[in-house]
Structure formats: structure tokens, C-alpha cells
Amino acid sequence: MASECQVIIGNHATASKKNKHKAMKTTIHPKKLFATDCLGALLTAVVTGIVLVQFESVFGMPRNSLYFLSGLACLFALYSFLGYFYFSAIGLKIIAFANLIYCGITIFFLFYYRGLLTLAGVGYFLVEIMVIICLVYVELKSAAAAGTNTTQP
């Protein structure tokens, strides 16, 4: 499906005109990606730092790890908020790789706390990882299409 998608940044298309009508178009402005990332990070911060902490016995992830993940999500939300106003393709790549690091840390926690985690906990974090990886894919495609030297106001 990814090969069928066409990412359009502003007026620049990544597919040739020949394939323009054959491919499914997905118009994603980098500012919208930063906004989406910011809102997603805020949601993650609230869920991991407040909701899951209140239901630690239901999900099994220790509080200190939930607070750590929540803190990372807050930092990513701040970065994405600033990225919304000061966009650069490199900045989009940075948040994409930061998101991958978040996924790596979460996977580490899943293995480290495997004896404590419940099915609900594993399920929540696996779904979160899948959503983040989809976002990272779009962010990297958009950053590549926008070019590494462009800065948009």
C-alpha cells in the first residue's frame, strides 16, 4: 500500500505526472505533521503519566517507567510544537528518529517488565508503537520530499 501512496508537500509531488492519477494521493503539509505529532505526544503524556499510573495494577507497568515515558512524550510535544512554527525538513527527521527511540525504550520496558505486565499493558503499548511507527513513516517520507535545505515560515 505504501508504494501506492503519493505524498505531496506544498506544490511538490513525489510521483511522476504519469503515475499521478494511478496513485492514491495523500496531501500532508509538514506543519500538520508537527501538529499531529504534538497532539499525539500530549495524549501519550496524559495517558502514560496520569491514566496508566492510576491503573498500574491493570496494565502492570511500574509508575517510574510510566513517568519516564510521559516525560519523554512531554519533551517531544514541546519539540513538535516549536517545529510547527519553525519548520525544517531536518527537524521533521529529528522528531521521527526521536519517536523511534521512544518505541525502542518502550520495547525495552516490555521485555524488562514482562513478568509484571498484563495483557492489557502489552496490548496498549504494542498499539501505541504501531501508531508511532506509522507516523514516523509519514514524517520521513514528508521530510525527504520537502528536502533537507528548505525552511518554511
Q: Distances from the Cα of 43 to the Cαs of 20, 36, 46, in angstroms?
A: 35, 10, 5
Give the pLDDT mean for 66-90: 94
Domain count, the chain: 1
Residue 50 is part of which domain span? Answer: 29-146
Residue 64 counted as domain residue:
yes
- What pLDDT shows up at residue 147? 72
Can you give the pTM of this predicted structure? 0.78
Kindly state the cell numbers that stand for 101. 527511540
Residue 14 counted as domain residue:
no
Residue 152 counted as domain residue:
no
Residue 52 counted as domain residue:
yes
Give the pLDDT mean for 118-137: 97
Give the pLDDT mean for 85-95: 88
Residue 99 counted as domain residue:
yes
Q: What is the 3-state secondary structure (H, E, C) of 122-138?
A: HHHHHHHHHHHHHHHHH
- What pLDDT shows up at residue 117? 97
pLDDT band at 17; cut points 50, 70, 90: low
Give the pLDDT mean for 44-59: 97
Residue 23 counted as domain residue:
no
| Pairing relationship of beta strands 5-9 and 12-13 according to DSSP bridges | antiparallel
Q: 56: exposed, middle or buried (C-beta count within 10 Å: 0-12, 13-18, 19+)?
A: middle
Give the pLDDT mean for 89-115: 96
Task: Pick the more confident residue, 129 or 2.
Answer: 129
Mean pLDDT of the chain: 84
Residue 4 counted as domain residue:
no
Kindly state the cell numbers that stand for 145. 520530499
Query: With contact defined as beta carbons under 8 Å apart, do 67 and 53 qualify?
Result: yes
Residue 115 counted as domain residue:
yes
Task: Give backbone dihedrals phi and psi of 136, rounded to 5 degrees, phi first.
Answer: -60, -40
